[in-house]
A and B are shown apart, each in its own frame.
Chain A
Amino acid sequence: MIALLRRDLALAVRAGGGFGLGLAFFLIVVTLVPFGVGPDGGLLARIAPGVLWVGALLACLLSLDRIFALDWEDGSLDLLATAPLPLEGLVSIKALAHWIVTGLPLVLAAPFFGVLLSLPLEGYVPLTLSLALGTPALSVIGTFGAALTVGIKRGGLLLSLLVLPLYMPTLIFGADMARRGAEGFDWSTPGFLLAGITCGVIALLPFASAAVLRVNLR
């Protein structure tokens, strides 16, 4: 399993691997929003948590179809399915690799991007924490969507439509946690709910992803 993780990370950072794609998209969204809504610092500060969360979610969505599509095209998905690795382990490692390549850079970059949106000072800790708690769920749910659409040419649109409703709870509680933090309220309740959703999908969805992958490989 470690070998698979190492290979996926090595592939991501090499030429054409797609590392930084999500981060670049996130940067573009965050820099364009102030130009779009105008130079009103108060308004920007109010919408900053929501914009940062929507930007992170869309950046995550952008790279989902690569999770299985590349391995499907060159035949290595068939070979991995016959390897000693259980498929549940395979999809968990794929989700972890996706999070390290896409989610983790977003978490680390979010405080710097918050400055661009004049996020209030007390909002930085809850924003970073909410992204750290929420982005693993985005990767795990996205892996489920990618497993559902593996083998479909240009399945990206279908994948987005399938995954977006499943992303809603994470977005609602994540953005709420960041917003309450920025406004100086107690943000523990949405934080706990967000952490609960993430723990739940990490525990349950790999089994569903492995099951649909098994059907799609037939």
Chain B
Amino acid sequence: MELSVENLGVARGGIAILEGVSFRLRAGEALVLRGPNGAGKTTLLRTVAGLQPPQAGHISLDRDAMAYAGHADGLKSSLTVAENLRFWAEVFGTSDISSVLTAYDLLPLADRRAGNLSAGQKRRLGLARMLVTGRAVWVMDEPTVSLDTTATALFAAAVKRHLDAGGMALLATHIDLGLPQATTLDVGPFRAKQPALDDFDEVFL
């Protein structure tokens, strides 16, 4: 399996942000997106994950191959850790959550309500969700926010196992995860040139 993105253009709020983005990911490879705040990393990831249509260009894999994790973890505070995870496992049609709980050291917290977890524990639970999706391409936006060094190592190990099993990962992060398979892509050079507004557009701005 291979994810190839060709000449992709993305927009946010009707304004083009990136254009001409091309990269290629083979099975077992990871790509780390870099760039300053507002450079368009999140928009690019959301487009690749299929949450918004591209302005231009082509993404080779269907959205059904992607598992997306955004800034928010999508946890329900009144459900327990195990219930949150089991829900996503059922939605994605997988069943094994105990090994996933172990992978992120969540087993002692399994019966705790998600609302009572610390920020780092919530993030770990959010990342554990990726393991139950059973999908090939992980598309993750700032996955290491609020993780301590131990949890970051757990996350890096989980990504490494995923890559070793033939998966792919597309990450926007500024932390070096120590992945030998990872290449880095700076989105800065792909910044879209602002097209001149015509009169019709100006009316709405």
- Can you name the residue of chain B whose Cβ is closest to the Cβ of A4? B91
Give residues 149-200 of A contacting B (CB, 8 Å).
none
Q: What residues of B have a CB within 8 angstroms of the CB of A71 in the complex? A: 74
Q: Is A205 an interface residue (CB 8 A)?
A: no
Q: Is B116 an interface residue (CB 8 A)?
A: no
Q: Is B185 an interface residue (CB 8 A)?
A: no
Q: Which of B64, B74, B92 is A75 in contact with, Cβ under 8 Å?
A: B74
B66 A218 Cβ-Cβ under 8 A: no
Q: Which of A11, A80, A84 is B64 in contact with, Cβ under 8 Å?
A: A84
Number of A-B contacts (CB under 8 A): 70
Q: What residues of A have a CB within 8 angstroms of the CB of B70 in the complex? A: 75, 78-79
Interface residue total, chain A, C-beta cutoff 8 A: 25
Q: Is B120 an interface residue (CB 8 A)?
A: no
Measured as residues with beta carbon below 8 angstroms from the partner, the interface class of chain B is 20 to 34
Q: What residues of B have a CB within 8 angstroms of the CB of A74 in the complex? A: 72-77
B66 A82 Cβ-Cβ under 8 A: yes
Chain B interface mostly helix, strand, loop or mixed? loop
Give residues 53-94 of B contacting A (CB, 8 Å).
53, 63-64, 66-79, 83, 87-88, 90-93
A36 to B92, CA, bound (A): 53
A78 B51 Cβ-Cβ under 8 A: yes
A80 to B51, CA, bound (A): 10
B51 A217 Cβ-Cβ under 8 A: yes
B78 A11 Cβ-Cβ under 8 A: yes
* 16 contacting pairs across A/B (C-beta < 8 A): A3-B87, A4-B91, A7-B79, A10-B79, A10-B83, A11-B78, A14-B78, A73-B72, A75-B74, A76-B72, A78-B72, A80-B74, A83-B88, A85-B91, A218-B52, A218-B53
Q: Which residues does B use to contact A, with CB under 8 Å?
A: 49-53, 63-64, 66-79, 83, 87-88, 90-93, 129
Known: A74-B74, A218-B52. 10 other contacts (CB 8 A): A4-B91, A7-B79, A7-B87, A73-B72, A74-B72, A78-B70, A80-B91, A82-B66, A83-B92, A85-B91
